[in-house]
Amino acid sequence: MNVKFNLSAINNKICEDTGGENESHKLIVVVRQITLTMLVYTLISCIHTISIQHLEEMGFCLVSFLLFLFIFITSYRFKTFVSYCVLNICILGWIITNVIVYGWNNGVQHFLLTLLVFCFFSKYQYEAAKVAYSIFLFTMRIALYFYCQNNAPLIALDLSNNVIIQIVNSLTVFVSLSLIAYTFSTDTQALEGKLIEYNERLQKQANTDTLTGLFNRRKTIEYLDSLLKSADNQISFCLCDIDFFKKVNDTYGHNIGDEVLKTLSDTFRKELPKDTFISRWGGEEFLLIFPGLNGDETMVALERLRQKVKSIVFDGGIEKFSISLTFGLVEYDYHSDLTTLLKQADEKLYIGKENGRDRIIF
C-alpha cells in the first residue's frame, strides 16, 4: 500500500505542471522523464567506472550526473520552453564531449535520435525551426563521425568495456524514445478512441429507431439493396402490423402504446432466428427480412412469433390487454426489384387485414 502511494506521489511530482500560459504540460513531463533517464544512465556509468577504477571517466560521469540533476531541479523553476531548450543544449554538449572523450564506437551519438524525435513530438508549432534543427543534428552527427575518423579518443576503452557502454547506451536511447512516444501519443490515442466511439454512436443513431432500437427505414433500404445485389440464397420478406394499434393508443394512452412497441421489438429479437434483420418500417408496421430461409421455413418462424405475441399480457392501467399481428410474407424470386417485393408484401398484409387479421398471408 505504501509502495503504491509512494509511486503515485513520485508520478504526481514528475507530472507537476510548472509551465506558463499556453505551454504544453506533456512537454515538461517528458523533459523530466528524459532527465531522470539520463540521471539513471550517468549513475550507472559512475558505478561502472568505479568498478574498473577509471578515475578520469568517473570524474566525467560525476559531472554529467550533477548536470542532469541540476536540470531536473530547475525544471520546477523555469518555464517549460526554457527547460526544454536547456535539456537539449546539455544533452547535445554531453554527446559531443562523450564522443571526443571515448570515440565513436561506444554509440553515444545515437542520443541525437532522441533529440530529433523529442523535437518533432514537442507541441511548439515552429515547423521551420524543427526542420532546421533536424538538419543541424544530422550535420552534427556527420561532423562527429569524421572527427572520430581523424582523431583518436582521449580515453581508449578496451573491447569488453566498450561493449558494456554500447549496450547501456542503446538501452537508454530506446527507453528515452519509448517515453517520448508514449507520453505524447496517449492524448492522441484517447482522442482517436473517443472520436471512433462518437462516430459509432452517430452511425447507430442514424441507422436505428430511437424508441425501439430496431433498424430504421433508411438502414433497411441500404441493407436490402446490398442483399439483393449479392443474393445467391433464398430470402423471405415479411411486413407485419399491430392489429388495432390506434385503439391501444386511444384507450390506454401513447405511453402504453410506446411500451407495446418496445416489448414487441424485444420479442422479435428473442423469438426470431438470430440472423433475421428486424426494422421498424413506420408507426406500428415492421419489416422482417430472413436471409437463407424460404417461404415455408419463414412461415414456421412467424407462426411461433404470432403465438408468442398473442400470449403477452400488457397492463393498460385501467385493464389488462393483449395484441395480435398480421403478416404479409413473400419469397424472393431472384428477379423482382425492391419496390416490387415490398409492394407484394404490402398487398398480402392488406389481404390479411381484410380477412380478419391475426394471420399470416403467404
State the catalytic residues.
Answer: 284
Decide if 58 contacts 46 (C-beta within 8 A).
Answer: yes
The grid coordinates of residue 243 equal 392489429
Give 25's strand partners: none
Taken in order 246, 249, 255, 259, is the CA torsion positive or negative?
Answer: negative
The grid coordinates of residue 126 equal 515552429
Q: Which of 89, 102, 76, 87 is nearest to 38 (CA)?
A: 87
The residues near 116 (Cβ < 8 Å, ≥ 6 apart) are 133, 134, 137
Decide if 214 contacts 223 (C-beta within 8 A).
Answer: no
Sheet holding 277-282, edge to edge: 277-282, 285-291, 235-242, 325-331, 360-361
Decide if 133 contacts 119 (C-beta within 8 A).
Answer: yes
3-class secondary-structure state, position 240: strand
CA–CA dist 192, 230 (Å, integer): 34
CA–CA dist 129, 264 (Å, integer): 64
The grid coordinates of residue 27 equal 512537454
